[in-house]
Amino acid sequence: MLSSSYSYGSFSEMPWVTSFLSERGNDLLCEVPVEFIEDSFNLTGLDQQVPYYDDALDIILDESTVDSDVLQESARLLYALIHQRYVITPYGLGDMKRKYKRGEFGKCPRVLCNHQPSVPVAVTQKPGKDCVRFFCPRCKNIYFPKSRYHEGVDGVFFGTTFAHLFFMTYSDLIPQEPPHEYVPRIFGFRIFDEEAYKRRHEAKAIKMKEED
């Protein structure tokens, strides 16, 4: 998942982060400030989760003297975990808000949500398990990515908390209007809901029995 779109050599002169963010699909990500990455407090515990942690960190900071597929894979994983922590900080939330306002995360595919902008979300905190999904604040549902490039972006870049903290922080961005429900009709008439009728009938019967 983390390595699906990696290409070697093409951006060798570029800083690692710039090159990484320019890969297709990674337009969803924001650039984590170097100061955040260099502050070891922010990276607490990540050395337990990322193999070859020190080399991976050096690669991200363009201070590496060694390189290999394995180390690149570690660097990508480390950046994903750092990104997940960054986007729930006040600065990270601000960066993501700017991207949201520009519509960079796409829109809810549900017709009755009327092109409501969405935000990225993960269904698991574990890396390499599942790709990013998109959360719509109107219908409060999550959706598969529409772009095949986004299918290659691991959900771990955002984690399961970000989307909900985002709308808790910027509650003014939550649509006030409740989502419209789709009403199936045949020749303009609502379809008879047999199940709902049965439930109502049963409830009535129970009530009458209780009153006896």
Which residues contact Zn ion (rule: CB under 5 A)? 108, 110, 113, 136, 138-139
Strand partners for 133: 121
Least distance (Å) from Zn ion to the CB of residue 134?
9
Strand partners for 2: none
What is the DSSP secondary structure assignment for residue 192, as one 8-state letter? Answer: P
Least distance (Å) from Zn ion to the CB of residue 34?
36
Which is closer to Zn ion, CB of 127 or CB of 179?
Answer: 179
Least distance (Å) from Zn ion to the CB of residue 43?
35
Alpha-carbon gap, residue 15 to 61, rounded angstroms: 8
Which is closer to Zn ion, CB of 182 or CB of 187?
Answer: 182
Which is closer to Zn ion, CB of 29 or CB of 113?
Answer: 113
Alpha-carbon gap, residue 127 to 133, rounded angstroms: 14
Question: Helices (DSSP H) in the chain: which residue ranges?
Answer: 16-21, 34-38, 53-60, 69-86, 90-101, 162-169, 194-211
Reading the block at residue 84, the tokens are 């997940």
| Residue 122, SS3 per DSSP | coil
Least distance (Å) from Zn ion to the CB of residue 98?
22
Which is closer to Zn ion, CB of 52 or CB of 134?
Answer: 134
Which is closer to Zn ion, CB of 15 or CB of 109?
Answer: 109
Least distance (Å) from Zn ion to the CB of residue 124?
22
Alpha-carbon gap, residue 30 to 96, rounded angstroms: 7
Alpha-carbon gap, residue 96 to 112, rounded angstroms: 25
Least distance (Å) from Zn ion to the CB of residue 20?
30
